[in-house]
Structure 1
Amino acid sequence: MTTPNYPLALAIATARWSNHETARLINERAQRDGYRGIAIDHSRVGRWIRLGEKPRPPVPEVLAGLLSERLGQPFTPELLRLAPGRRVHVYLDAAEHEVLVAVATAANVPVEEYVRELLRSALARLPARPH
């Protein structure tokens, strides 16, 4: 079963890039940065979005860098779902789960994606932690 990559689709759409433009920019940046053998085409970008396929390194890092520059906010391969993230299991009672499903459905967003954004929003409001 395939799962569309909504975060990647949204970032590329926000950048106002087509799949052709995205592929061209990745290829140019990879070549400029000294990576050899990178030859992305528009159909590959489409598979990343529609099917959730994951490109091999260094492509996720290159694309995250391009989107960060274009949109003026930090993107990582993990945020774009191009690299594995860490999983957190949260157990909800039936009523809590029902509310999450109802709100996500009303927003036309998969429940997992909605919960992920809720958590990110909450974490962004926490005070910065020293390293």
Structure 2
Amino acid sequence: MILHPQLENDCFVIGRFPLCALLLLNDSQYPWFILVPQREGITEIHQLTEVDQQQLMRESCQLAAAIESEFNADKINVAALGNMVPQLHIHHIVRYKTDPAWPAPVWGKFPAVPYDTDAVAEVAAKLEGLQSFVRMEPLRT
């Protein structure tokens, strides 16, 4: 499966579920994960088969529960916009009442603050216990 160039540029691939690749957005201000269903030509959830829709929901809920717990989130923002990147992808953003954008949406508020290599590994390690999750090395460091 080929990632949209914007996702390729802005994210690390840190794992894979049965349906989705799991990406970490390279912005250390927020633990920000993205699920990308590994299906060609899909831009909307309703375009997935019913089986894939159900699998996407399972993976999304499993990820949301894990990041809520592992990162002690005040709130989890889940969104599928696709206005700039048409490839179907679902954002899962850990929010804190103390984060720089709270309570507003995070998009476009502040320039990204990139992770260093060790920090990417630390974030990925927090998710290794996810059921059905296969760990992968980041694409780039």
Task: Return the TM-score normalized by structure 2.
Answer: 0.26
Question: Which is richer in helix?
Answer: 1
Using the size of structure 1 for normalisation, the TM-score is 0.27
| Higher-Rg member (1/2) | 1
Whose strand proportion is higher, 1 or 2? 2
